[in-house]
Amino acid sequence: MPAEPTSVPADQPPGSSSLVPLQSVLCTEELHRRPSRAPDHERENRALVALALALANSPHTILQVLADTILEVLRADSAGISVLTEDGERFHWAAIAGLWQPHIGGGTPRAFGPCGDVLDRNAPLLFRHFERRYPYFLPVTPAVEECLLVPFHVEGKAVGTIWAIAHDARRKFDSEDLRMLVSLGVFASAARQALDQLHALGKQARERQEVQNSLREMNEALVLGSVRQNELTEAAEKLNEQLQEAIAVADQANAAKSDFLSRMSHELRTPLGAILGYAQLMESGSPPPTATQKRSIEQILKAGWYLLELINEILDLALIESGKLALSQESVSLADVVRECQAMIEPQAQKRDIRLTFPRFDIPCFVTADHTRLKQILLNLLSNAIKYNNVGGAVVVECMASSAGRARIRVEDTGKGLSADELEQLFQPFHRLGQEASAEEGTGIGLVVCKRLVELMGGVMGVESTPGKGSVFWVELNLAAAALPAAAARPPALAQAPVHANAQLHTLLYVEDNPASLSLVVDLIKRRPDLRLLSATDGTRGVEIARAAQPDVILMDINLPGISGVQALRILAEDPTTAHIPVIALSARAMSRDIKQGLGAGFFRYLTKPISVGTLMATLDLALEFAQAQSVRPNRGEKA
């Protein structure tokens, strides 16, 4: 059945003379009065992981995957995604799941459907029997009992809606359905940006192909002697202009891809921050959780941290493939990196009864590498050696001289080993070598990222394996001269100092527009009797409160309405009355270039969401110590 009857004039909705007022079909305010289910974070986490994988692995199908996910997570009867056409006149039903799936590909004029009202109000809306206002839907079956719609945006512009429908009068949407649909709207935005990016890259590829075809035709014509010299020169100049234009398009596409990755990281981390933050709060709450609650909290934390790891791996892989990953090559002590990894991996090995053996470094050994990325590589190899080992097995780490001027790091396990066919597929993205159905979590991305990181650092990575006996993964890197003392450059890990009930009261200002993030920090600071919390929901108001209240420390989000966190920091730094206050960035923009830019802008520290409670508290203590040291100096405006 067509979504739009052909007998209806294009400029007029059917039955337009009998349209009822919008308020008569709206029931959005009822959402918060209805009984609501408790948040199912585990179900939500599984959905987010599946969507992140689909977006990375098959972006062309992501809209339909998202529609299927909405249907499942909200337990709706139908669900879908409506995208505004380029001329802004119509909504195209790009993806539909459930009972309405036969209507996929249909659509409605913007002015005569619920999606248009949602974009006009730029807010979620709940409709009941909306066909009374939008007669276009009278022929569409089954009929709609309730429809919950949420707008989604690309670069600040509303471009479509995602929606869930109940065809049964017994199914009533509630505030938890709204929360989850708003969260899934993040993926609708990321998916649309990904599809736009793919379209731009495809256009760029076609333009390059046209240039290559023209060059080939010109070559053939030259061989045949059918082109005069002056015509050849003119053609070559024209083709060179086209090539330069294609290169400029490619540069713009790469820049857009980097911006997209940064935005996607921010959008994915923001909802995840609330999930992990509150789970950590519940885990350490008073009174302590019951055994059943503790098991549930552990599952939420396990799924949440795994999702964060997945996000990081996908972004790393995308940055490497686009050539945008920045490395800080330096002389790195292998002994230091191995000791750091040993401390981090030993608890995982103890749970599996795996014996670990690490080398002794009687002679210092230094390699040319990025310290953080080298640790990431070694931790990944050690984690895999433990996960895919036999219970009670062993892992041996060795460091030795290799070919001239190189050092080799070997990680050997006693697992089941890999066949020749499996070795050939080992470094392909998203390929888990038959482990998809196992209890061990994984995405098939980690080893691919490790290999490409090693190659970017001028090294080589390889593997040797014997089925039934185990595997050896090795990394070779160039030797380097001993590094200069780095105590000042790399500060020791922060430890959180105990807080006494009679401690001096300090003031913390938190500038954050996301209600979930703000609420989380409010609950965290309630556990600090030495802190009084002030808050602002935009940068301009944050600057005003900082000037008036003179807080000891400021926590600042980066993406704020009005002025950004970086602009607010600049204003505070230029004002003599606030320049002394340490400002800590707390942002979901977590890519390496974002952190580097934030620290370069003058933030005291740059923390990323999701929040690690221990790290946040330790950083606040450090900032308070700094603020206290500043306060003993001559008063602002006075001469020393």
- Residue 141: DSSP 8-state: S
pLDDT at 508: 93
pLDDT at 301: 73
Q: Does the structure show a pLDDT above 80 at 219?
A: no
Q: Does the structure show a pLDDT above 80 at 26?
A: yes
CB-based burial label for 612 (10 Å; 0-12, 13-18, 19+): middle
- Average pLDDT score over residue span 127-145: 88
pLDDT at 322: 63
Q: How far apart are CA 305 and CA 130, in angstroms?
A: 41
At 585, is the pLDDT very low, low, confident or very high (cuts 50, 70, 90)? very high
- Residue 59: DSSP 8-state: G
CA 47 to chain CA centroid, nearest Å: 14
- CATH 3.40.50.510 assigned to domain 506-631? The reply is no
Q: Does the structure show a pLDDT above 70 at 539?
A: yes
Is residue 307 within 8 A of residue 42, CB to CB? The reply is no
Is residue 475 within 8 A of residue 377, CB to CB? The reply is yes
CATH 3.30.565.10 maps onto the chain at: 330-433+441-478
- Average pLDDT score over residue span 10-24: 59
CATH 3.40.50.2300 maps onto the chain at: 506-631
Q: For 151-199, write each residue's pLDDT tens digit.
A: 998 877 888 999 999 999 999 999 889 988 988 887 787 777 766 766 6
Higher pLDDT, 135 or 4: 135
Higher pLDDT, 157 or 245: 157
Helix then strand then coil, % of the chain, to nearest 5: 50, 20, 35
CA atoms within 13 Å, Cβ hemisphere of 435: 20
CA distances from 142 to 73, 146, 433, 625 (A): 21, 12, 44, 65
Q: Does the structure show a pLDDT above 70 at 20?
A: yes
CB 366: neighbour CB atoms within 10 A? Answer: 20
494-498, 589-593, 601-605: which has the minimum mean pLDDT? 494-498
In the chain, pLDDT over 70 holds for what percent of residues? 73
Closest CA to 585 of 611, 561, 548, 562: 611
Helix (H) or strand (E) holding 407: strand 406-413
pLDDT at 565: 92
Is residue 375 within 8 A of residue 344, CB to CB? The reply is no
pLDDT at 202: 60
- Average pLDDT score over residue span 445-457: 84
Q: For 382-402, write each residue's pLDDT tens digit.
A: 988 998 898 899 999 999 887
Q: How far apart are CA 400 and CA 365, in angstroms?
A: 9
Please name the residue that has the structure tokens 């919390």: 533
Q: For 323-335, write each residue's pLDDT tens digit.
A: 666 677 889 999 9
At 430, is the pLDDT very low, low, confident or very high (cuts 50, 70, 90)? very low
- Residue 4: DSSP 8-state: S
Higher pLDDT, 349 or 402: 349
Q: Does the structure show a pLDDT above 70 at 235?
A: no
At 547, is the pLDDT very low, low, confident or very high (cuts 50, 70, 90)? very high
CA–CA–CA angle 226, 231, 236 (5° rounding): 110
- Average pLDDT score over residue span 52-78: 83
pLDDT at 9: 34
Q: 366 in helix, strand or coil?
A: strand
Higher pLDDT, 567 or 610: 567
Please name the residue that has the structure tokens 């009687």: 362
- Residue 207 φ then ψ, to 5°: -65, -40
Mean pLDDT is highest, among 186-195, 228-237, 260-269, 444-453, for 444-453
Written as six digits, the tokens of 406 are 């190189």
Written as six digits, the tokens of 63 are 């809209």
Q: How far apart are CA 111 and CA 12, in angstroms?
A: 10
44-53, 109-118, 540-549, 604-613: which has the minimum mean pLDDT? 44-53
Higher pLDDT, 237 or 385: 385
Mean pLDDT over each residue of the chain, to the nearest integer: 79
- Average pLDDT score over residue span 256-268: 61
Q: Does the structure show a pLDDT above 90 at 582?
A: yes
pLDDT at 215: 64
- Average pLDDT score over residue span 412-433: 75
CATH 3.30.450.40 maps onto the chain at: 16-195
Is residue 594 within 8 A of residue 602, CB to CB? The reply is no
pTM over 0.85: no
Q: Does the structure show a pLDDT above 80 at 405?
A: yes
Q: How far apart are CA 506 and CA 494, in angstroms?
A: 20
Q: 260 in helix, strand or coil?
A: helix
CA dihedral 394, 397, 402, 405 (to 10 degrees): 170
- Which of left, alpha, beta for 189 (phi over 0: left; psi -120 to 50: alpha)? alpha
Q: How far apart are CA 187 and CA 311, in angstroms?
A: 13
Q: For 364-379, write each residue's pLDDT tens digit.
A: 889 999 887 898 889 8
Class of 16-195 in CATH = alpha beta
pLDDT at 634: 52
The CATH number given to 330-433+441-478 is 3.30.565.10
Question: Would the CA dihedral through 92, 96, 99, 103 be positive or negative?
Answer: positive
- Average pLDDT score over residue span 19-40: 86
pLDDT at 360: 87
- Residue 77 φ then ψ, to 5°: -90, -35
Higher pLDDT, 264 or 500: 264
What is the secondary structure of 535-583 as a DSSP string? EESSHHHHHHHHHHH--SEEEE-SS-SSS-HHHHHHHHHHSTTTTTS-E
Is residue 79 within 8 A of residue 63, CB to CB? The reply is no
Closest CA to 447 of 487, 387, 500, 398: 387
pLDDT at 576: 92
Helix (H) or strand (E) holding 469: none
